[in-house]
Structure 1
Amino acid sequence: MTGQNRSSAVMQRRRVAPDSLDYFPTPPFATRALCEFLSRGAPSLPLDDMRVWEPACGELHMARPLAEYFREVRASDVHRYGDHELTDFLFFGGGDVRTDWIITNPPFKLADAFIKTALEIATGGIAMLLRGAFLEGQDRHATLFDRTPPDYVLQFVERVAMLEGRLVRVGQLDPFAEKPGTKVSTATSYCWFVWLGGGLHWRDTRLRWIAPCRHKLERPGDYPDYASPVTDECQSDLIDAIGATA
């Protein structure tokens, strides 16, 4: 009989911020899909010579695949999920901080603020992973899209399943589900919203579809083993691998 695994080893691997920071970890294949588009698609950017900042890094599920493409990755978050830089990204608006790219899955309720701050900082471009519903709204159109439309909206053809505080492969059993035996699925549509910098602006929005790519872009070790305890050493090793500042 299948049931929930509520052992201490499992439960200590789920990281939910105590003040509801809207933490929904990103499946790594979704980040690789963006990087494949930026490096091999229409922009054809030399990512391996660029720096990227992931300012809502959580447990580094996006920072790790970014390190496969970019020369340098900065990983930070406002909440201490692990051994990463502790920084409130929204305080950097209008400052002297600069980076080539800013790529993240921001808290949905703060997405507008993340975009506006990122546009002030990044010189190469920004990319935000957001629900398709972010395209809607009269206020957002007036304050953001009408003034600064994204260069690309990249619509995932297959669904990107994201759960609060944990990362589980779509179709697998969710060890934290209220109903035992529940498999991971989603009815939510996600897109990458991309603004190009460095004189590459199209000044119009182009819609592109990301063809099914999960099986192609998934890698061993992408998803946590919630039956095994997390250790500080594991987090430190990952920080060292991506070159984040502690």
Structure 2
Amino acid sequence: MNKSLSIVGFGKNRDSADFYPTPPQTTEALFKRERFDGVVWECACGDGAMVKVIEKYNSCMASDIRTDCYVYAEGGVDFLTNYKEVPNIITNPPYKYALEFAQTALLCAEKKVALLLKLVFLEGISRYNFFRNSPLKTVYVFCKRQPIWIRGEVGKNSGLIAYAWFVWDKSYKGQPYIDWIND
């Protein structure tokens, strides 16, 4: 894989499973700002990078659609078709299915959903309609670009994309607000 292009996801250089593990500090930043009551499902767990951080704070169940040797927990679970009710969902979804993951997560989660997404997820008419009808509470924007890992290494051109934690809270009523992460 050409690491210099994979971060921006161009054609054949993109990881076929959108497998870009989340650095621990990125997940830690979420837990400095949010609390999750009950079990958390990491439904696109990959190599378990996020699970290892989540388990410091909550009980965590984990799965991934992939079945290769890199999968940390239960493999072969397609979140978009084999979902179940859980208190909370936290994940870094495959970018090409970000909206579908957000929609499905809101059907499954009884309390909260937190997704690590590209900041440009805020754009678009279909997502506008989705946001207007969802309990989005907070968008935590990273002030510093987050390094993206590719098979355990920071990608060569990592840090080109702005990321944010999008947090939905089923008990929240009101307009979403924005905050910044400058850790």
TM-score class normalised by the smaller sequence: 0.7 to 0.9
Report the identity percentage.
37
Q: Distance in 2 between matches of 1:55 and 1:98?
A: 12
| 1:208 is the counterpart of 2:171 | no
Question: Residue deviations 1:159-190, cap 9 Å, x none?
Answer: 11114x32335xxxx6xxxxxxx5x6412100
Q: Distance in 2 between matches of 1:83 and 1:73?
A: 12
Give structure 1 stretches of 5+ with no counterpart: 1-17, 40-46, 175-181, 214-246
Q: Could you tell me which amino acid in structure 2 is paired with residue 55 of structure 1?
A: C
Counterpart position of 1:103: 90
Superposition pairs of residues 59-208 of structure 1, within 5 angstroms: 59-70=47-58, 72-80=59-67, 81-86=70-75, 87-92=77-82, 97-142=84-129, 144-148=130-134, 150-163=136-149, 165-168=150-153, 185-197=158-170, 199=171, 201-208=172-179
Find the residue that maps to 1:151 and give its secondary structure: strand
Contact (CA 8 Å) 1:27, 1:167: kept in 2 or not? no
Find the residue that maps to 2:32 and give its secondary structure: helix
Which TM-score applies when normalising by structure 2?
A: 0.84
Q: Could you tell me which amino acid in structure 1 is paired with residue 16 of structure 2?
A: S
Q: Distance in 1 between matches of 2:174 and 2:82?
A: 25
Q: Distance in 1 between matches of 2:39 and 2:57?
A: 10
Q: Could you tell me which amino acid in structure 2 is paired with residue 109 of structure 1?
A: K
Moved over 6 A (4+): none
Contact (CA 8 Å) 2:141, 2:181: kept in 1 or not? yes
Q: 1:147 to 1:34 in 2, by over 3 A?
A: same
Q: CA deviation at 1:67?
A: 0.3
Q: Could you tell me which amino acid in structure 1 is paired with residue 132 of structure 2?
A: D
Q: Could you tell me which amino acid in structure 2 is paired with residue 56 of structure 1?
A: A
Q: CA deviation at 1:92?
A: 3.4
Give structure 2 stretches of 5+ with no counterpart: 1-13
Q: Distance in 2 between matches of 1:83 and 1:195?
A: 26
Q: 1:208 to 1:34 in 2, by over 3 A?
A: same
Which TM-score applies when normalising by structure 1?
A: 0.63
Contact (CA 8 Å) 2:135, 2:169: kept in 1 or not? no
| 1:30 is the counterpart of 2:26 | yes
Counterpart position of 2:4: none
Q: 2:38 aligns with which of 50, 74, 77?
A: 50
Question: Residue deviations 1:187-207, cap 9 Å, x none?
Answer: 21000000012x2x1331110
Find the residue that maps to 1:38 and give its secondary structure: coil
- Give the structure, 1 or 2, with the largest relative contact order (CA under 8 Å, sep 6 or more): 1
Question: Residue deviations 1:189-234, cap 9 Å, x none?
Answer: 000000012x2x13311101112x2xxxxxxxxxxxxxxxxxxxxx
Q: CA deviation at 1:139?
A: 2.2
Contact (CA 8 Å) 2:145, 2:162: kept in 1 or not? yes
Q: Is the strand fraction higher in 1 or 2?
A: 2
Larger radius of gyration: 1
